[in-house]
Chains A and B, each alone.
Chain A
Amino acid sequence: MTAASESLPHLEKGHAGPHEAHEDIRQYLMFDPKPRGEMNAMVMESMLTTSWKFWVVFGILAFLVATCFIYAWGYMIAEGLWVAGVMRPSYWGIFLVNTVFWIGISHAGTFISAILRVFKAEFRRPFTRAAELMTTFGLIQAGASIFMHLGRVWLAYWLFPIPNVRQLWPNFHSPLMWDLLAITTYILGSTMYLFLPLIPDLAMARDRSTGWRKTFYKILALGFRGTEGEWTHLHTAMNFFAFAIIPVMFSVHTIVSWDFAMAMRPGWSSTVFGPYFVLGALHSGMGAVAVVLFIMRVTMKHMDYFLRAEHFDALGKLMLIVSFAYSYFFFNDYIVQWYGGDRWTDTLLHWLEEGPMAWMFYQLIFLNIALPWLTLWNKKIRQTPWLLALIGLLINLGMYWERYLIVPVMLTINRMPFTWKLYEPRIEIFLTIGTFSLFLLFYLAASRLIPLIPVWEVQEGQMAHSLRKVGKTHLPSVSEVDLTMQ
C-alpha cells in the first residue's frame, strides 16, 4: 500500500461505509488515487506508445504543412499578394481572420490554467498542460498569419524597434504596433508559464527514460531533483506567472480588437469591441479545449483514467457560462449600432441580414448562442465527451464565421458605395488549411515528447482530497492549506 492510497483508507474494499457513495466517489479523479509509480508509468506509456495510425496522421499533416503552409506561403511571397483574394475595399482578408481566430484559441489555454489555478478550481488539474500548449501553438499560428498578411514580409523586422543608423522608429501611435507588442509579450509569458509546471514532469520523465530521450529531458528539466527548496521556488514562480499572465491575456485580445475598433469604419468603430473580443476568444478557446481533450482521450493510452466525465462536465458548464457572456456582448454590439441609425452602419447591418453573406450571419447566431444554450444545460450531454467535443467544434466554426464577418465582409460596406465589392478567398484557403495542420502537427509532436498530463499536479490534488466522516455521512473535502500563498 502506498502513501497516496493510505490517505484514503476508507476507499479500500471492505471498509464500505453506510451508503453507496463510496463506489460513486471513485468516478472522480481526485478520489480515485493510484500509486505514484504506477501513475508515472501510465503517463510515460501514453507518451511512448505509438501505433501506425499515429504515423499515418502525422504523415498526412506533415504533407499538408509542406504543401499548404510552406509551399503556398513561399509561392505567395514569390508572386505577390495577387494570388490572395484581398482587394479594394477588403484590404484585409482571411489572414487577419486567422490571426484573430488563433489568438482566440490561445486564450482558453491561459484562462483555464491561470484563472482556475488562482481560484483553485480542482477540475483543472489533469488538463492544464493540454490547454497551455494550445496557447503557445495557437500564438505561433497567429504570428505566422500576421506575417502572411504583410505585403513585403521580408521587411517585417521594420516593425520592431531595432536601433538603426537612420534613427527610424516604428510608429507607436499605430494599433498594429500595440498588437505586435502585446502578442510578443503574450507568447513569451505564456511559454514561460507553460514551461514552469512542466519542469517536475520533465524530471520525472528523465528518471524513467534512456537514450536520446534521457538527454532531451535532462536538458529541459534544468537539473530538477525535487528538493523542498526547488519546489518552493517553483511554486513561487508559478504563482507569480499565474497572476501576471491574467491581465496580459485580457489586454492582448482587447488590443487585437482595437485594430478594428480604432479604425473609422462602419461596423468596426465600436467601444464594446474589447470585452466582446475577449469573450469571443474564450468562447472559441473553451470549445477547442473540449475538442483537444476528446481527441486525447480517444487516441492516447490511459487517458480515460485522467480525463473523465467530470472534467467534460465542468468544461461544459464553463462553455455555457461563456456563451451567456458572449451573447450579452454580441447583442450589445449589434443592437446599439443598429439603434444608432448611422447611415453606413445601417446599410451594413441590413446587408448582413439579407445580403449574400446572410447565411453566415445566421449560422453565427445559431452556432455561438442557440446551440450551447439549447444543449449544455443537460448534464448527460455535457458528460458525453464526443458530444461536447462536437459542440466545441461547432462553436469554433461559429466563431470563425464571426471573425470572417468582421474582417472581410464588414469591409465590403464603406462610405464610398462606388467601391463596394465582395471578397473571395483564393490562396488563403490553402494557407488556412496549412496553419490548422501545423497546429495539429505541433500537438502530435508534443504528445510524443512531453507529458500531456501534469502528473505532479494530479498527485498533489489526490493527496489534498479526502473523505471525512461527519456524523453518519461522508463528506468529500479538500485541504485548503496552500503553501504557495505565503
Chain B
Amino acid sequence: MGIDLNLVGAKGAIAEEAEGKWGMVIDQDLCTGCQACVAACAMENNLSFVGEEDAGYGRTQHWIRIERFWEGAYPEVKATAFQPMLCQQCGHAPCEPVCPVFATPHSPAQEINLQVYNRCVGTRYCANNCPYQVRSFNWRDYHLEPFHANNVDGQLVYPLHNQFNPDVTVRRRGVMEKCTFCIQRIHQAEDKAKSEGREVHDGEFTTACAQACPANAITFGRMDDHESLVSQLAHQDRGIKHLEELNTLPRITYLKEG
C-alpha cells in the first residue's frame, strides 16, 4: 500500500505523483561544463550581471550553475563529472510552505514551483529552506545601475544590459527569483495548443538551457508521457535524483556513470 501523495499535506504543499508533468534529464557523462546553458538562461530570463565583486561574494544571479568538484588531495586530484544545478521543481517543495505571503506557490496546471515577484517581500526564508540552494536574491537594482564586465582601452564594456526578453519580468531589488522551467515558453506552447484544440506535444518546445546545450546533455519534455524522450531517459538504470531522501520529489533526473 502506497501513500497517497496527492493529498494536501499538513505543510500545505500539494504533493503530486513523483513524476510530475514537465521534467528534465541531465546527462552528466555528456556535460562538458561549457556554461552555454548558463549564458542561454541569462539571455532568456533577463538575469542580472552582478559584477566581479558581488559574484565573488556569493551573489551570482544564475538560475542554473555548473558545479565542479574534485576528489583526492593535491597532486593526485581527479575531477568529477560536471553537475549542472538548477531548481528541481520539487513536487513536495520545502520552499513553498515557509513563505509568509504565498510568493512561491505551486502551480497545479504546470506542476512546477512558481515565483510571484510582485508578491515577494524578501524574507528569504524560501532560499534558506531550499536544500539545493538554487534560489537567487536581487540584492540591488542591477538593471538600473549596470555593472561593466570589462575595461578595454578606457572604455567600459557592459554585457548586453539592454537586451531584455519582453516575455519575462525584469526583477527589482528585494525579491527572490529562481528557475521557472522557462514558463514563458510553456505558456506560449500551451496557448498555441489550446488555439489548435490539442494537448501540448512533447518536443514542441524546449527550455533555453536544453536548447543551448551543444552536447545535448539536457533534455526537457513531458514526464507524464511515457513515450517521450525525457521519460525514456529518466527511467534508465543510471538515473539518480538529488537529495531524494528528503522527500522533495525532484523533477530532474541526473544520468551518471553510464
Q: Name which of A92, A149, A411, A416 has the most chain B CB atoms within 10 A of its CB.
A: A416
B121→A417 contact, CB < 8 A: no
- Taking CB atoms, residues of chain B closer than 8 Å to A88 are 58-60, 127, 133, 136-137
A176→B98 contact, CB < 8 A: yes
**In whole Å, how far is A211's beta carbon from the nearest beta carbon of chain B?**
46
A151→B133 contact, CB < 8 A: no
- Taking CB atoms, residues of chain A closer than 8 Å to B100 are 159, 170-171, 174, 176-177, 180
B85 within 8 A of A: yes
B160 within 8 A of A: no
Task: Known A91-B124, A149-B123, A150-B122; judge A80-B98 contact (CB<8 A).
Answer: no
A417→B99 contact, CB < 8 A: no
B174 within 8 A of A: yes
- Taking CB atoms, residues of chain A closer than 8 Å to B11 are 173
Please measure, in the bound complex, the distance between the C-alpha atom of A39 and the C-alpha atom of B27, giving whole angstroms: 82
- Taking CB atoms, residues of chain B closer than 8 Å to A89 are 58, 133
- Taking CB atoms, residues of chain B closer than 8 Å to A411 are 128
**In whole Å, how far is B194's beta carbon from the nearest beta carbon of chain A?**
26
A345 within 8 A of B: no
B23 within 8 A of A: no
A421 within 8 A of B: yes
8 Å CB contact of A151 from B57, B65, B121: B121
A433 within 8 A of B: no
Chain B residues 45-60 with CB under 8 Å of chain A are 54, 57-60
8 Å CB contact of B121 from A156, A168, A259, A264: A156
Chain A residues 166-215 with CB under 8 Å of chain B are 168-171, 173-177, 180
B67→A171 contact, CB < 8 A: no
A150→B12 contact, CB < 8 A: no
Task: Known A170-B101, A171-B102, A264-B94; judge A418-B85 contact (CB<8 A).
Answer: yes
**In whole Å, how far is B210's beta carbon from the nearest beta carbon of chain A?**
21
Please measure, in the bound complex, the distance between the C-alpha atom of A81 and the C-alpha atom of B57, giving whole angstroms: 14
Size of A's binding interface in residues, CB under 8 A:
43
**In whole Å, how far is A331's beta carbon from the nearest beta carbon of chain B?**
26
Please measure, in the bound complex, the distance between the C-alpha atom of A118 and the C-alpha atom of B136, giving whole angstroms: 50
Please measure, in the bound complex, the distance between the C-alpha atom of A170 and the C-alpha atom of B125, giving whole angstroms: 14
Please measure, in the bound complex, the distance between the C-alpha atom of A270 and the C-alpha atom of B58, giving whole angstroms: 27
Please measure, in the bound complex, the distance between the C-alpha atom of A80 and the C-alpha atom of B57, giving whole angstroms: 16
- Taking CB atoms, residues of chain A closer than 8 Å to B191 are none
- CB-nearest residue of chain A relative to B134? A416
A484 within 8 A of B: no
B129→A159 contact, CB < 8 A: no
Please measure, in the bound complex, the distance between the C-alpha atom of A50 and the C-alpha atom of B140, giving whole angstroms: 46
A171→B97 contact, CB < 8 A: yes
B120 within 8 A of A: yes
**In whole Å, how far is B257's beta carbon from the nearest beta carbon of chain A?**
20
**In whole Å, how far is B178's beta carbon from the nearest beta carbon of chain A?**
12
B131→A151 contact, CB < 8 A: no
A265 within 8 A of B: yes
A: which residues have CB within 8 A of B? Answer: 79-82, 86-89, 91-92, 149-153, 155-156, 158-159, 168-171, 173-177, 180, 259, 262-265, 411, 414-419, 421, 424
14 contacts between A and B (CB under 8 A): A86-B139, A88-B127, A152-B121, A152-B174, A168-B101, A170-B100, A173-B12, A174-B99, A174-B125, A415-B132, A416-B85, A416-B132, A418-B65, A418-B68
B: which residues have CB within 8 A of A? Answer: 11-12, 54, 57-60, 65, 67-69, 83, 85, 94, 97-102, 119-125, 127-129, 131-133, 136-141, 173-176, 243, 246
In addition to A150-B174, A175-B98, A411-B128, 17 A-B residue pairs with Cβ atoms within 8 Å of each other are A80-B174, A81-B140, A82-B139, A82-B173, A87-B58, A87-B59, A89-B133, A150-B121, A151-B138, A151-B175, A171-B101, A173-B11, A174-B97, A414-B133, A416-B133, A418-B67, A424-B57
